[in-house]
């Protein structure tokens, strides 16, 4: 029964009692008006009892309605209120119980619909938050940079694995702890907090400090930047970011090595030229000596031109200008013959025995004659420089699938495995063996670029101290490319 029907029935019962009492009173008045000469005592008592009965019944019904009706109305509402408060918790999945199909039950169903919608939206929001948190966590873990987040009280609220590794802590030891307390027993953290105390923040004019972590091996240099966290209520902490700048430090070292090497490479021939010029000015120098000095000046000038040419090639590559190639069919045996003629005086000076091994009927390759010859001369010059006097030096050319492979073998000290890839990098600072002067660090880099541009490969095979073998390949010339081609 609905609440509305209960109220209507209660009011109807009260009206019926009132109407019955009024009707009885009207009948009694009409009986008296009809000429009754008197009222018998029995009739009077009966009328009085009837009126008293109506009055008592009406009073009882009224009192009952006064007590029961508000309770009937408020009790479901109080129960509904209690159940709504019970299911309003953040982690509750209950529903309001529907005990009756009345107005309160309708309200309960509406509340359940609202709760279901709110919980669906809450689940969707939580899913989005979890997804974003997982993304941020994955990002933080994959960063090579160390990140520390401190709140306004200096409590560590975030630390990624890189920062934990640098500082020597686990995440459990960092999170929720005061950074200043942890710094009392950790020198690295104490040094990181010093710029924060000095207000050396990112974006100011003070250079960001660089710290060295010895346990990081080849990448020990990290630059610290501190950024404040702003909120609507003001500063909310700081983010400390440790950026790996070891590659930049290596570039600085390579630059310093390159400048020292180039300075030496330039100073030596210039000093020789200057001394030769001084001797040429001397009138006591005879004609034969003058001719020797002029020849020496020419050799040193060629050495300077070679170094400057290498620098120009490097600058072109750095500028993205690429290489200008004149690709055409050529025979590597002709290249070997010309290159060995160029370096033959150096071979005689060190009494090196040149061993040539050319496969019969070598296929024609497609390449740039000038640049391929330059590469072979550079490889031979390096081999001569590091070969001991009187040692054999070999050149081997043979087919290699769809390529032709040329190799230069020497009996020098060899190249350690950790440097065999670095030697092809520009200005690579590879330690030179004792008794040998290092070059400018450009020749192998340019040679690698020349061979790669022609579609070949250049690499080294070496097992110290058994010498080194430099190899490069060039593609076999197909029938389609029988005519000369202009390079790119």
What pLDDT, in 10s, does the model give residues 293-315? 888 888 778 777 877 776 776 66
Report the C-alpha gap between 387 and 355 in whole angstroms. Answer: 14
Query: How confident is the model over 364-418, as pLDDT tens digits?
Result: 999 999 889 989 988 998 899 899 988 999 999 999 989 999 999 999 888 888 8
Report the C-alpha gap between 311 and 446 in whole angstroms. Answer: 10
Query: How confident is the model over 71-102, as pLDDT tens digits?
Result: 667 777 777 777 777 776 655 556 777 776 76
Whether the CB-CB separation of 141 and 41 falls below 8 Å is answered with no
Query: How confident is the model over 314-354, as pLDDT tens digits?
Result: 666 655 555 677 889 999 999 999 999 888 888 988 899 99
Whether the CB-CB separation of 372 and 411 falls below 8 Å is answered with no
Which of the two residues, 357 and 112, has the higher pLDDT score?
357
Q: Which residues pair with 231 in a beta bridge?
A: 234
- Please give the structure tokens belonging to residue 128: 């989005």
CATH of domain 143-244: 3.30.450.20
pLDDT exceeds cutoff 60 at 105: yes
Report the C-alpha gap between 25 and 31 in whole angstroms. Answer: 10
pLDDT exceeds cutoff 50 at 485: no
Mean pLDDT of 62-67: 71
Report the C-alpha gap between 64 and 239 in whole angstroms. Answer: 72
Q: What is the pLDDT of residue 288?
A: 84
Whether the CB-CB separation of 405 and 472 falls below 8 Å is answered with yes
Q: Which residues pair with 190 in a beta bridge?
A: none
Pairing of strands 392-400, 458-462: unpaired
Say what the pTM is. 0.48
146: nearest Cα among 242, 71, 58, 77: 242
Which of the two residues, 77 and 147, has the higher pLDDT score?
147
Q: What is the pLDDT of residue 471?
A: 95
Sign of the CA dihedral running 94, 96, 99, 101: negative
pLDDT exceeds cutoff 50 at 486: no
Is residue 484 very low, low, confident or very high in pLDDT (cuts 50, 70, 90)? very low
What is the percent of the chain where pLDDT is above 90? 14
Query: How confident is the model over 176-187, as pLDDT tens digits?
Result: 889 889 888 888
Is 191 strand, coil or helix?
Answer: helix
Looking at domain 328-481, its CATH class is alpha beta
pLDDT exceeds cutoff 90 at 456: yes
pLDDT exceeds cutoff 90 at 134: no
Is residue 37 very low, low, confident or very high in pLDDT (cuts 50, 70, 90)? low
Report the C-alpha gap between 450 and 444 in whole angstroms. Answer: 10
Token look-up 């020496």 returns 296
Is 59 strand, coil or helix?
Answer: helix
Helix (H) or strand (E) holding 174: helix 171-174
Q: What is the pLDDT of residue 318?
A: 59
| Strands of the 210-212 sheet, one edge to the other | 156-159, 146-150, 234-244, 221-231, 210-212
CB under 8 Å to 83, separation ≥6 — which residues? 96, 97, 108
Pairing of strands 234-244, 221-231: antiparallel
């Amino acid at each position: 029964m609905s609440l509305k029907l209960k109220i209507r029935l209660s009011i109807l019962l009260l009206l019926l009692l009132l109407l019955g009492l009024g009707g009885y009173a009207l009948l009694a008045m009409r009986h008296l008006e009809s000429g009754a000469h008197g009222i018998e005592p029995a009739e009077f008592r009966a009328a009085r009892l009837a009126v008293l009965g109506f009055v008592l019944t009406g009073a009882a019904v009224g009192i009952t309605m006064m007590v029961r009706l508000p309770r009937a109305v408020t009790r479901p509402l109080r129960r509904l209120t209690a159940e709504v408060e019970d299911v309003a918790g953040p982690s509750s999945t209950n529903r309001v119980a529907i005990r009756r199909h009345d107005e309160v039950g309708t309200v309960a169903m509406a509340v359940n619909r609202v709760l279901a919608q709110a919980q669906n939206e809450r689940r969707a929001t939580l899913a989005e938050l979890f997804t974003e948190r997982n993304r941020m966590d994955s990002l933080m873990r994959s960063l090579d940079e160390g990140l520390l987040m401190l709140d306004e009280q200096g409590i560590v609220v975030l630390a990624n694995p890189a920062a934990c590794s640098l500082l020597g802590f686990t995440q459990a030891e960092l999170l929720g702890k005061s950074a200043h307390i942890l710094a009392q027993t950790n020198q690295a953290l104490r040094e990181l907090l010093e710029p924060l105390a000095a207000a050396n923040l990112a974006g100011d004019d003070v250079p960001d400090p660089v710290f060295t972590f010895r346990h990081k091996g080849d990448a020990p240099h990290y630059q610290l930047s501190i950024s404040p966290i702003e909120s609507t209520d003001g500063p909310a902490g700081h983010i400390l970011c440790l950026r790996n700048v070891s590659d930049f430090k290596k570039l600085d070292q390579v630059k310093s090595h390159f400048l020292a090497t180039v300075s030496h490479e330039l100073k030596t021939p210039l000093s020789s030229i200057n001394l030769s010029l001084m001797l040429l000015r001397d009138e006591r120098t005879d004609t034969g000596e003058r001719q020797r000095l002029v020849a020496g000046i020419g050799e040193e000038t060629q050495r300077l031109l070679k170094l400057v040419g290498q620098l120009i090639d490097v600058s072109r590559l750095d500028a993205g200008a690429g290489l200008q190639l004149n690709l055409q069919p050529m025979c590597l045996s002709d290249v070997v013959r010309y290159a060995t003629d160029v370096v033959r005086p150096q071979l005689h000076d060190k009494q090196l025995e040149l061993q040539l091994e050319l496969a019969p009927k070598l296929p024609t390759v497609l390449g740039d004659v000038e640049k391929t010859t330059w590469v072979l001369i550079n490889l031979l010059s390096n081999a001569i420089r590091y070969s001991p006097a009187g040692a054999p030096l070999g050149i081997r050319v043979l087919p290699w699938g769809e390529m032709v492979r040329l190799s230069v073998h020497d009996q020098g000290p060899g190249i350690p495995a950790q440097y065999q890839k670095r030697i092809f990098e520009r200005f690579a600072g590879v330690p030179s063996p004792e008794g040998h002067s290092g070059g400018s660090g450009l020749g192998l880099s340019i040679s690698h670029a020349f061979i790669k541009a022609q579609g070949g490969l250049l690499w080294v095979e070496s097992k110290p101290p058994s010498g080194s073998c430099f190899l490069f390949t060039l593609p076999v010339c197909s029938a389609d490319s029988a005519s000369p081609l202009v390079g790119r």
